[in-house]
Structure 1
Amino acid sequence: MKAMRAALDVLVLIPLLLSCDNTFVDNRGKQEQSQAPLLPKGIEFSVELIGLANLDNDSGGGIDFENPITEAEDELVRWELTPDQLSLIETDHLLELKLESTDPSIRVWKNGTLILGKGSKPSHSIKYDEIGGIDVEFGEFNTKEVISISHLNANGESIGKGSLTLRSAPLILNHHLQPSEHVYALETEGNEALIEAYKSVLKTKFTPLSGTRYQDDVWVQDEIEFATSIDPSGKRQDIIVDSIRDRGLAPLAKDISTKQTVVRTWGLPSTATTFDSFGNLEASPPVTVDGVNYPFGRIYYGANDNPSESLSELLAEALSAQVVQKPFAIDTSWLCVGHVDEFSTFVPDTNSPKGFKLLISDINEAYKLLEAMSADTMLPQYARDFGYENVEAILDDQALRTLNENLQENILDQIVGTFKKELGLDDTDIIKVPSLFEDELCGDGAHGALIPGMVNLVVADDEEGATNLFIPDPFIRAELTDQASDPFIKDLTEKLPSDLDLHFVDDWTVYHMGMGEIHCGTNVKRTPMQNSGVPRT
């Protein structure tokens, strides 16, 4: 029995002979390669973090991103490995972090020490006993950076990898469908009617600004633009874009901001033109254009063919870089002041499929109304300041008619076409507002409003939540105190949505005769939409 078992053992061993290169060779000449030992499993992940640009002044020492972090910071975004990932890292392992960008707009901190990004090196290694969370800080709106993470074993071999995609929320300009929170206008001699209208209707939601403090610079809309940035959790960051016009209202942005408000300027005051004032910078309500959704609307501004006489290139580039409100330009070189709010605006319309109406200046509507009036209707305001004693005087001014008809055909109709194309609108989305312009008010062949521009209005909510429109009074009537007799007021009232509360306000002396209107002299802070707006591109 023992001899038989030994013989069987020999038979089992004969087919497998160990070769000199550690392969097994069977009796049929086939080889089986031995498997190399497997490396321990490493971390594998891809994570996206979204935060707010740290451009406020929490520390009180200036722009936070330009200073060391403090305990007051509230825009840092924290990242940590999960417990499962930590369990894969042994005591002799390293994590190597490397920024892909050569000019990063982020800073990465670990336990209060800068380890990556702006002002630091492009890579950093973390030992096992140093592993913990890192804090990411963004230095720009709508920026994107990527950190590659390699998991190295004791021999320096990569056994795992990870990727952190870091994005900051964009800066978003407000539009007129957003609820208003507060309204500002400068109080000065001659604009009592507007100030009283705001106080009466808006009450605590209105603040009159000191004419003395701001050197009677009434053009509050031109000085600043309110904006916001929102992270995915809904955290809100208030932003004030401060213009480069730098007149009497120059201190306003700082005066009405807090340490948590981002105040930002693009461009140099030495290069400022009228196009850099923010009556020339607006945003439409949300639209869908050729299948592309713009949930925050689109930015539009006035421009000139001459780059030196358009919106600051630095600001235009910054707005374009936000992506989500894709800006477009409209020619406003035909106007003395050159601002888009002189001929266009948007108002809410709950009965409209799009939720709004575009108001646009229209010459034909004005002449239609004037021709329907009694020719001898006296016009005291126009007689005093423009030499038109009555309606007949306006209708008989052939040069005025030719000018305005040319503006309608060659300018305003083209502008309507631009709005339709860029915002996906049709005729049902547009309200034509009767308007007339006068020639060479500024002496360079450009034009200004003859009739107070009713499109140059303010949309604001009162304490009860009702939406109010504050509209320049056109004064196309004999009895100045009798607004009910004004056909221009009647016409616009009938065209506007019935659920809006309308207030036609005398802005003639300070604003209209200063080549502006109510919107030019007012600024409105609004509640942002609760969406980060981070573009998925």
Structure 2
Amino acid sequence: MLALAGVMVTGVPAAAAPGPVLLADTNRSGALDWADLPGKGRWSPQRGAIFLPNVDDDAKRCKVTDADMADNSLAVDARLAACNDAQDDVVNGPQDVADFAPLRTMPRNVSQNGTVSLGAGEGRYARLWVERDGAWASLGESGVLTAAELRRGVRLGLEGRDVIRDKAVWNGVVTVSVTAGGTDSVQLRVAPLIMQNDLRAPRRVVTSEPPVPELRAGYDEFRAGLRQAMEAANLPESALTAVTNYDRWFQDILEPTTASMPGPGGKPQVMHVLLRSANYRPAVEWEGELYPPSLRPAGKVAFATLRGPNVGVVQQYTDQRGPAVDDSLNSTGNYESLPPYRGHELGRPLYGSTPDRRPDPTFTTLIGSQYAEPVVIDTSWLVVGHSDETVHVIPARNARGWTLMVADPRLAVDVLRQATKDGHGGAVLFDGTAEPVKPTIDAALADPKFLEQNDTAARHIDTQLAVLLRETGLTTSDLVRVPVLFEQYTWEQLATETAALTESGRVTRSMIVDLRDRMKAGKAPRTAFAAHTAGIPNGISLGGGVFGAPDPHGPRVDGIDLFKRETERALAGTPVRVRWVEDWQFLHKGLGEVHCGTNALREPTRADWWRA
């Protein structure tokens, strides 16, 4: 019995015919044996060996200096993204070998040296390794195997050097061939990047900690509420990482995924792969100074703080963008994941896009090249334009185990109308906040514009739901609707309120100018919306059914927040337990909520995805 990085090779026969025999884990059992022979030459979803994109940093050799963090040039971004275990020909610590896919030539009766090689042009995507005298040596895309090695049988490894970025360019498959008096080949495919979903428990929750006092308004209350919600989910204090960062929008700077392959004993070998947001800012002149093109600076925290053993980072963007690309939609708060359901056993990506207002096409191509066709909804009517602003996946007691929580402006207005009927029309919106204007329920309902704008927002959400119900098979009765009021902006209002809207950094001045120009040109809806009361679905799932929701600050009657009460009633038939998190000053006022200010590394959607 022979072992390769803990993967066992069993049933090895005596040397026989002279032609080579090359094995990979074709049957995905975690062991190399003769059962891997059938079908090994052609990869299929049902059968074929899998390898990892080795983009983590097992030895933590990739250093990010303070100078790197301060330098926003694209050259620094490219250098940081290029540093990972796959970019050198050194074994980076004992954990690194576990990221190699095992291969083996079986003992054969040969008298001449042979070669092992990748298919033409595949060296940019993978690297071959050979084990000699107890140590691993890189062969690159090809190498010589001695006759003595071939007679004994050779232990090989395959290391993925990249992820699938465009399946039309590379579909993830490589062919490894051994030639020695004949040729034998196996095909392997790189593991897809599978997006997390909110039904899976987080292993680690991350948020930003502002480094200067002027950015900390409301932060302490937000962090305390987040920590209390985590405690309700039995997450230890060590599970929360607060990264010193000027950019508070942690959901918007990276999207976590996982890649996995069969490991020893059939246990999956799992790697988290973080997709840095494709937020690209072209060169701009501002107040007489020229600023060179750059990526979102905060994205570098993925390299500096999160990259390490079994955590890699991938960067994908293009600076060749058509006029329809809106950089706000490149923030990764726009990218979510639907959990598995019939016909889509790994779930599906979800993001917002329209022909006239869409994200970076190379990033969406990467997303769509992995494991499932994405679901795309219209978010062009929102100022920020993200899919997480209106819907959130939650657990449910139904056959599929999940449903959607949906922001419902009509329900919010109905709650206000009922309060008026009950004699509480004098209660105020935004109760418990420092808002300078707190309209009463009666005043809000007497304002035709207030009613019209919430009806318009509701109709936009109806359009989103029509797509989601059609694509998932959910029904309207499955949905959990919660009260959220929306406010409306015309392009003229965006022009006059640019400074206030961009103060938190959620959207930049160029994003607002871009949206305003689209609205003027008829390439976006005439009005744009943002949550007026806190967007309740825009919270964080913490496992065990605990949902950290933003405090809506709805009208209070007898000390009870009517929007909270309505939300808790709507969730009463589900496994969800709400924990309210105060985010009004720190996040809501900046056009975001709890979800926007956090991120999480979760348990994989399905580590053994090949069995789905």
TM-score tier, shorter chain, comes to 0.7 to 0.9
Instruction: Give the counterpart of 1:526 among 572, 577, 602.
Output: 602
Distance 1:99 1:66 in 2: 17
Preserved contact between residue 20 and residue 105 of structure 2 (Cα < 8 Å): no
Structure with the larger RCO, 1 or 2 (CA within 8 Å, 6+ apart): 2
1:95-106 to 2 correspondences below 5 Å? 95=114, 97=116, 99-104=118-123, 105-106=125-126
Q: Counterpart amino acid of 2:148? A: D
Distance 2:253 2:128 in 1: 35
Matched, 1:412 2:412: no
**Where does residue 426 of structure 2 map in the other structure?**
377
Preserved contact between residue 266 and residue 312 of structure 1 (Cα < 8 Å): no
Matched, 1:163 2:217: no
Q: Counterpart amino acid of 1:520? A: C
Alignment partner of 1:235: what SS?
strand
Q: Counterpart amino acid of 1:287? A: Y
Instruction: Give the counterpart of 1:358 among 404, 410, 418.
Output: 404
Flag the 1:182–1:102 CA change in 2: closer, same or farther, 3 A. closer
Preserved contact between residue 278 and residue 317 of structure 2 (Cα < 8 Å): yes
Matched, 1:279 2:333: yes
| Displacement of 1:345 | 0.5
Matched, 1:147 2:176: yes
Alignment partner of 1:381: what SS?
coil
Alignment partner of 1:202: what SS?
helix
95-104 vs 64-73, which moves further: 95-104
1:54-203 to 2 correspondences below 5 Å? 54-58=54-58, 60=61, 62-70=83-91, 72=93, 73-74=96-97, 75-82=99-106, 86-87=107-108, 89-92=109-112, 95=114, 97=116, 99-104=118-123, 105-110=125-130, 111=132, 114-115=138-139, 117=141, 126-131=145-150, 132-141=154-163, 143-152=172-181, 158=182, 161-187=183-209, 188-203=216-231
Alignment partner of 1:176: what SS?
coil
Flag the 1:101–1:408 CA change in 2: closer, same or farther, 3 A. farther
Alignment partner of 2:199: what SS?
coil
Matched, 1:491 2:525: no
Q: Deviations over 1:113-143 (max 9, x none)?
A: 55453xxx6xx66452342222211112362
Distance 1:106 1:208 in 2: 33
| Displacement of 1:347 | 0.9
TM-score after normalising by structure 2: 0.69
Structure 2 segments unaligned to the other structure (5+ residues):
1-15, 22-36, 41-47, 63-82, 165-171, 210-215, 232-236, 280-294, 496-515, 517-526
Preserved contact between residue 122 and residue 174 of structure 2 (Cα < 8 Å): no
How many residues are aligned here?
A: 462
Flag the 1:116–1:270 CA change in 2: closer, same or farther, 3 A. closer
Flag the 1:41–1:208 CA change in 2: closer, same or farther, 3 A. closer
Q: Deviations over 1:309-337 (max 9, x none)?
A: 522222211111112x4322212111111
Distance 1:99 1:525 in 2: 34
1:390-405 to 2 correspondences below 5 Å? 390-405=440-455
Q: Counterpart amino acid of 2:366? A: A
Q: Deviations over 1:197-255 (max 9, x none)?
A: 22234251553625xx312x221111122222121121121222222445563342121
Distance 1:429 1:128 in 2: 65
Distance 2:309 2:269 in 1: 16
Distance 1:476 1:201 in 2: 20
Alignment partner of 1:402: what SS?
helix
Distance 1:78 1:505 in 2: 47
1:429-508 to 2 correspondences below 5 Å? 429-440=478-489, 442-443=494-495, 444=516, 445-461=527-543, 466-478=544-556, 482=559, 485-496=560-571, 497-508=573-584
Instruction: Give the counterpart of 1:423 among 469, 472, 496.
Output: 472
Distance 2:461 2:310 in 1: 42
Instruction: Give the counterpart of 1:214 among 241, 245, 249.
Output: 245
Q: Counterpart amino acid of 1:333? A: S
What RMSD over aligned residues (CA atoms) do the two structures have, in Å?
A: 2.9
TM-score after normalising by structure 1: 0.78
Structure 1 segments unaligned to the other structure (5+ residues):
1-38, 153-157
Flag the 1:316–1:498 CA change in 2: closer, same or farther, 3 A. closer
Matched, 1:264 2:264: no
Matched, 1:517 2:546: no
Preserved contact between residue 169 and residue 532 of structure 1 (Cα < 8 Å): no
Distance 1:347 1:302 in 2: 19
